Amino acid sequence: MQTHPFETRSLRSCARPAFTLIELLVVITIIAILAAILFPVFARARENARKTSCLSNLKNIGIAFMQYTQDYDENYPLTTVTGMASTPLSSWTTSTQAYIKSVQVYRCPSDSSSRWNAAIVPPAAPPFTTSYILNDWFSAGKDGGFGKLSATQEPARSVIMAEKADEPGMMLASADHFHPFYWGASPEQSSMMMASAVWDTTNNTTLELAVKRHLDGANYLYADGHAKWGRFEQLYNYTGTTAADRQGVFRPR
C-alpha cells in the first residue's frame, strides 16, 4: 500500500527532534547554578525561623524571671554549682517551671548537641537540660553580683542569659550558668583552672556560649526582660582590672 506524499511530509513535520547531549548538559548546568544560588537562601530562611523561635523561648524565660522577682522580693533565681548532682532543685531551670510550664522552652531549635539525646525529665540532675544559661553575676546571693533586680546597673543593657555552647566540655557540660568574671587573658579571679576552661585565649572568645549559633550571632536575654539577637564581639567589652569592673562587662557598647 503506497503512502500519499502529502501524508508522509505531515508525519515527518509532527515528529519531535531529541535533545542533543550538549543541550542536556546546558540544562543540567543551569539547574546546578540555580540550586547553588537558592539553597543558601533557603538555609538562611530556615535558620531565621529557628532564630525567631529561639528568641521567643528567651522572651518567655524573661517573663518568668520578672514574675519570679515579683514573688521573691526582687531576688533572681539561683543557679546550681557545676557538677553537683545534689542541688538540681536550686537551678533557675527548676524554680521557674511554675511560671513557664513547658520544658520545650528550654531548647533552642538550632541546638543539636548531645545533651538532648536523653529524655527531658524535670528536675534533672545536674541540672535541668537547657540551651540557655544564666550569667552568674545575676544569681541570687552571688558575692559582688546583682542578686536583686534593684541592684542591677542598667538592666536594659546588661545580658542576663545567653545560649549555651553545643559541647562546652566536661567541666561545663552540666552547668546552668556562665562565668564572665573568668573571661579574658588575665582574669582577676584566683582559679586559673576555671579560666582555661571557659576562655579561649587564642581566639579571644568564650568557650561557654554558642556565640555564632544563629547567622554568626546568637540570642541574648537582658535584665529588663527583653531579648534580641547580637554578636559576641559587640557585647563583650571588658577593659577593667577588677571583679567590680566585670559586673557590667557583658552588654552592648
247 backbone dihedrals φ, ψ, rounded to 5°: -65, -35
User: Which of 229, 252, 231 has its CA nearest to residue 48?
Assistant: 229
Q: Are 141 and 147 in contact (CB under 8 A)?
A: yes
DSSP 3-state assignment of 196?
Answer: helix
| pTM for this model (two decimals) | 0.75
User: Could you say which DSSP state residue 214 is in?
Assistant: B
Q: Output the tens digit of pLDDT for each of the chain's 253 residues.
A: 555 555 555 545 555 566 677 877 888 888 888 777 766 666 777 888 999 999 999 999 999 999 998 998 888 888 876 444 445 557 888 888 889 888 889 999 999 888 787 665 555 444 567 899 998 888 755 555 567 777 777 788 888 999 999 877 656 767 788 888 777 755 555 456 677 788 888 888 889 999 999 999 999 999 888 999 999 888 876 555 554 454 445 544 3
Q: Indicate the burial class of 203 (C-beta count within 10 angstroms; 0-12, 13-18, 19 or more).
A: exposed
The C-alpha cell that represents 19 in the structure block:
535533545
In angstroms, the CA 235 to CA 5 distance is 84
What count of Cα atoms within 13 Å lies in the side-chain half-sphere of residue 103? 10
Element (H, E) at 229: strand 227-230
144: left (phi over 0), alpha (psi -120 to 50) or beta: left
Q: Indicate the burial class of 243 (C-beta count within 10 angstroms; 0-12, 13-18, 19 or more).
A: middle
In angstroms, the CA 206 to CA 195 distance is 10
The predicted pLDDT at position 62 comes to: 94
The predicted pLDDT at position 126 comes to: 44
Domain ranges for the chain: 51-246
User: Which of 169, 93, 87 has its CA nearest to residue 126?
Assistant: 87
